[in-house]
Amino acid sequence: MPPKEKLLHRRVFILLPGNLEQAGSVSGDVRRELVALGVEQDIVRRAGVVCFEGEMNIAMYSEGGRIILLVADDRVELLFSDRGPGIPDIELARTPGYSTAPDWARELGFGAGMGIPNMEHQSDRLEIRSRLEGGTVIRAVFRRGRG
């Protein structure tokens, strides 16, 4: 890995639990900020999707958390962290189709079990760490300046 370049931008979004209606809003803000900073359109698109999925999981499964957006010359990062039950089996949670979403959420179109797989697919690197009865931290990295 080349040395990390200086940060251009850092922003923290606080997320409350259970508020799915409000939950789409951080991905919109992230998208707007990335556009304003002149970040490549492809990364704006991918980061928007990753942010939405991470945001929804925090809203649906945790007791609240936050999302930090970092922008540097060489990369964009999204850091999701929450307080909550944690993910007992991360391999299982990464499996397409695996979901513990409650029925009310499924009626709204959540629960395909595609959120984490989408986050992996749309980012250049995705790290998940979780502690039972503690919470979950997910780091998504998007590399800039390459096709």
Ligand X SMILES: Nc1ncnc2c1ncn2[C@@H]1O[C@H](COP(=O)(O)OP(=O)(O)OP(=O)(O)O)[C@@H](O)[C@H]1O
For other proteins, the binding residues (CB under 8 A) are 20-21, 23-25, 27-28, 31, 45, 48-49, 52-53, 56, 108-115, 117-118, 121
Separation of alpha carbons 63 and 134, rounded Å:
10
Cβ proximity of 71 and 9 under 8 Å: yes
Of 117, 85, 76, 74, nearest in space to 99 by CA: 117
Interface with ligand X, residue 48, by CB under 6 A: no
DSSP one-letter string for 72-126? ESSEEEEEEEEESS--S-HHHHHSTT-----HHHHHTT--SS-HHHHHHHHSSEE
- Among positions 112-131, residues that touch ligand X (CB under 6 A) are 112-116
Task: Report which residue's Cβ sits closest to ligand X.
Answer: 115
User: Closest CB to other proteins among 7 and 16?
Assistant: 16
- State which amino acid sits at residue 119: M
Interface with Mg ion, residue 136, by CB under 5 A: no
User: Closest CB to ligand X among 80 and 142?
Assistant: 80
Interface with ligand X, residue 20, by CB under 6 A: no
Question: Residue 127 corresponds to which tokens in the numbers above?
Answer: 């790290």
Among Mg ion, ligand X, other proteins, none, what binds residue 37 when CB lies within 5 to 8 Å by partner kind? Answer: none
Separation of alpha carbons 12 and 94, rounded Å:
26
Interface with ligand X, residue 100, by CB under 6 A: yes
**Binding residues for ligand X (CB under 6 A):** 53, 57-58, 61-62, 82, 84-87, 93, 98-101, 110-116, 136
